[in-house]
Every structure is written in structure tokens, then in C-alpha cells.
Amino acid sequence: MIFGFFALIPTLITAETTTNEVIRDYCSLPDAVYADGVSAADFGATGWNYANAANWADLVVTCGGSFQSPIDIVTTGSTQEPVQPQIHYRSKDASVGYEEANKPYTKEYEGEYSEIEVTDASGSVIRYYAKQFHIHTPSEHTIDGKYYDLEIHFVHQAIQDDEQDCNTVKNKLTVFGLMFQESSSATDYEAFKPWFDSNATGEVDSFDLNDFFSKMSDATYYHYNGSLTTLPCSQTVNWVVFQQPLPISTAQLKQFQDFLSDSTLFPIKHNNRPIQHLNGRKILKGTAITAGVTEIPNLEASFAQTVAMAILLVILIQ
């Protein structure tokens, strides 16, 4: 199936006179079929871990599926995607934050961030919200057989509402994979510091997902249908893996690697799943449009803000 990304469209929701949290109904992932006594939460020496990653299919049937991730992206075998994505997130503001999640197998921030839209080959427009991002070191995907020092996954989940039915959404998740390569001249990323700063609150207050894309001089990406790379390996992911690695400092890379210090769970400080077979899947190639990102109205706009904007529009039209 061929997918193309369209620009983020401003959405304005009339709320009460006071700002309230917007509650969304997210599309649920497919049910996993587990072996007796196993669950996705059972990460550890007696459950699943990266030392037994080659045997995950014995724990969860889905992990033995035909459309698994990660893969080796052979660039010469890719075909041009007909529609180029435009990756425009809403500019970060203080009212929208990510909080650290307690995950024993990665470092992760969770918290709804912004909306993107995906159009599939049938012409259906599917809306996703950025839900979390987490790290793997070294990279999970390889490009022409090359591993990178670290890979970040930005995870977006589709929603159910009056305009979108989850039953019509094939892939409930869209995940962006960004590569990072160690550089002695790289400065530390502020967004990563709360993960390791004992004095930090664990919440990211001054981070914008656009920041990473704005640092790319080459926004070439590779796109394919795949799965989660951790249990339960659900095959419901649009993968968009970017080719150009961003720099990461030696100090911050070491912090991630040191987090994976238990060799019984993380062989040689790795939390990347082995490469999976392509099994005839098509890999598409394109160049994302990331310039011109502008702030859009907050989805939790107050009634007063809505009225003010409406009056301003009337004045401009006259």
C-alpha cells in the first residue's frame, strides 16, 4: 500500500469558558496471542528480553509474522513514493508536555503532542496524534547494511471520532525512525537531559519535535509496512525511516548505553531487535517537506479565544 503524508491542518475545537483537557478515543492495536503465562509487561530474565530476541515468536505468535520490523533498507531496491509527506508539528508550548515513562527496556517520554494526517492508496485520510518517543541503541533499522549508534522512534496513534472510524484504519500506528551517529563536536540535546538528571522532574517543558527535523539538511526517508519492534510485535505500523543521521555527543550516547548495563537482558548494552526478513514488501523512497513550520491554534482553545479569533477573521475579510 502506498502512503503519502500531507501537511498538518489546524484544528479548532470550541471548549467551555475554561480550558479543559480533550479526551480522545484512540484506535486499539490488534490483540496479541501470547504463550501461557506471558505478557508484554514481562520484561526480564524470566520473560522476554534482548538476549532471547531471536525466540520472541515462541512467546507471542505475532512476532513470527511475515511483516515484522526492523528491516535492512536496501536503497537500490526502493521505489519513488508518489506523494511527499509534509511533517509539520504544532509548535511546542508550555501546556503540552512529555513525561518520562517507567520502561525497563528503553528510555521513553509519553504525552499527546500534535496531529499529523496520512493518506492511503484508497484516498482515505487518516489522522494520528504523536503519543511517545523512545530510543534504541544501536539502531534497529539498518540502511544498506549499516547500523547507526542510536535510533529514536516517534510513535503516532490513530483516533476514533465522528470523522474517523478505526475499522477503516489498517495501520493504527505511524512511526518515524531517526538515526543518530556519535560526534565529538555534538552538543547535548536538552530533551534528553531529564532522562539522566537526578535533579530534573522527568518532564520535558521546552522541546519541539520540529527541532530534530529542522537540523536535517537531507530529509530523504524510506517507507514500508511493518510491526512494533518490541512485544507484542503487532503488524500495524507505517514505518518512515529517515536516511540522514543526526549527531549525538559521546557523553549522551554513553548515558543511553550505560542504562542497558544488565548483560543478561541487554547483550553488549544493546536494545535493538535483530533484522527481520522483508518477505516481498515494497520499500518506498521520498523526501519529506519540513520547512515553514508555523504554530497553529491550541486544540484546547477556550471559548473566549475562539470568539476572539472569529471576530478577527471577520475584520480581516471586510
Q: What is the CA radius of gyration of the chain?
A: 20
Residue whose cell numbers read 509474522: 65
CATH superfamily placement of domain 4-317:
Alpha carbonic anhydrase (3.10.200.10)
Q: What is the mean pLDDT of residues 80-107?
A: 75
Average pLDDT in the chain: 79
Say how far residue 304 (Cα) sits from the centre of its chain: 34
Kindly tell me if the per-residue pLDDT of 53 is higher than 80.
yes
In the chain, the largest separation of any two C-alpha atoms, in whole Å, equals 70
Is the confidence at residue 311, as pLDDT, over 70?
Answer: no
pTM: 0.82
Q: Is the pLDDT of residue 97 over 80?
A: no
**Residue-level pLDDT at 214:** 83
Q: Give the SS3 label for residue 247.
A: strand
| Angstrom distance (rounded) from CA 227 to CA 141 | 12
Q: Which of 4-13, 224-233, 260-269 has the lowest mean pLDDT?
A: 4-13
Whole-number pLDDT of residue 211:
80
Instruction: Evaluate the CA torsion angle 190, 156, 63, 46 in order and state its sign.
Output: positive
